[in-house]
Each structure stands twice: as structure tokens, then as C-alpha cells.
């Protein structure tokens, strides 16, 4: 958070607002699950795809996913606070690979950050796509999660 607000807020202000932001991040009412997420996850699971999560989060992620009714789709959840490394470190991706028990070229990783997700996954040999619901495009980009069904 301090990096995000560097030069905008005084360090003491960051310390003052951190507890509030920390609580808001764990509150499911502050999160939006896009309309295409549940149908796409359901379709992929129905086709037999094994799904997992690699996230730069902490122990609050699993209860949050449960509250958002997303946890049941995922075979495993790999959180940076448990692994000790954050994306784009190859360590967290290699940890996920060991959980999947598949060679990296059999895995497609989808993320919303180019450097952390797309490049991080590629450094260990995974295929990867960027989900960018904005105006960007390209062969490495999905505009919506439903586009994933055509790729796999």
C-alpha cells in the first residue's frame, strides 16, 4: 500500500489508513465477481479442467473466496504468504507446479497483471494469458473470462 500511495500521501497517513483498508480488503461486499466468472469456471470444471489459484495474498484469501462462493472450483490455492515468495518469483509458480503434478507446458495461467502473472508464469514454462477487461488487446489478452473457453 505504501508503494501505491508513495508521493501522494505522507507516510504517517498511510499508517493511519492501513487498518481500515486491511479490513475492507477482507470484506466480501467490497469485491465484484464479474458476470462471466461463475459460468466460465462452471464450464471449465464441467469439461474436466483442474483449476487452481496462485495469489500474492495472505490468509484472508481462502475465507474471502468461500464467502464469494468461488472456493469450490479450485483444487488448490497457492498463497504467497504460505510459500514465502510473491509473483513473479519462479518459486511460487514452481510450488504450484508441484501441486498440480503436470508439466508446465500443460498448464495455462490466466492473470490480470502482465509482469507478475503473464511473465511470471512463462519463466517456468507455463502458457499464460492476460485478462484485461479494458481497451487493450492482442493475442495474449482475453477481454472477458468467457473467451478462455475458446482457447482451451
123 shares a domain with 90: yes
Residues 56-65 pLDDT 10s: 999 999 999 9
Q: What is the CATH number of the domain that holds 133?
A: 3.40.50.1000
9 shares a domain with 40: no
95 shares a domain with 58: yes
108 shares a domain with 81: yes
What's the N-to-C CA distance of the chain in angstroms? 35
Name the H helices within 31-139. 37-46, 61-67, 80-83, 90-100, 120-122
pLDDT at 134 (0 to 100): 80
What range defines the domain where residue 18 resides? 1-30
Cβ distance 127 to 108 under 8 Å? yes
Residues 63-112 pLDDT 10s: 999 999 999 999 999 999 999 999 999 999 999 999 999 999 999 999 99
The yes-or-no verdict on residue 4 having pLDDT over 70 is no
70 shares a domain with 4: no
135 shares a domain with 61: yes
Cβ distance 1 to 22 under 8 Å? no
12 shares a domain with 49: no
39 shares a domain with 26: no
Least confident of 11-15, 25-29, 71-75, 112-116: 11-15
65 shares a domain with 6: no
pLDDT at 3 (0 to 100): 54
22 shares a domain with 92: no
pLDDT at 150 (0 to 100): 84
Domains contained in the chain, number: 2
The yes-or-no verdict on residue 18 having pLDDT over 80 is yes
Rg (CA), the chain: 17
pLDDT at 135 (0 to 100): 67
Amino acid at each position: 500500500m505504501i508503494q501505491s500511495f508513495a508521493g501522494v500521501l505522507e507516510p504517517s497517513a498511510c499508517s493511519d489508513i492501513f487498518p481500515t483498508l486491511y479490513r475492507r480488503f477482507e470484506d466480501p461486499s467490497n469485491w465484484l465477481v464479474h458476470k462471466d466468472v461463475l459460468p466460465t469456471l462452471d464450464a471449465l470444471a464441467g469439461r474436466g479442467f483442474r483449476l487452481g489459484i496462485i495469489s500474492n495474498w495472505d490468509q484472508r484469501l481462502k475465507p474471502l473466496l468461500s464467502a464469494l462462493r468461488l472456493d469450490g472450483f479450485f483444487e488448490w490455492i497457492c498463497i504467497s504468504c504460505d510459500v514465502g515468495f510473491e509473483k513473479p518469483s519462479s518459486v511460487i509458480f514452481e510450488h504450484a507446479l508441484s501441486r498440480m503434478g503436470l508439466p508446465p507446458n500443460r498448464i495455462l495461467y490466466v492473470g490480470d497483471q502482465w509482469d507478475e502473472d503473464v511473465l511470471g508464469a512463462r519463466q517456468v514454462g507455463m502458457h499464460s494469458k492476460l485478462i484485461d477487461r479494458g481497451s487493450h488487446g492482442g493475442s495474449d489478452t482475453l477481454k472477458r473470462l468467457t473467451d478462455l473457453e475458446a482457447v482451451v
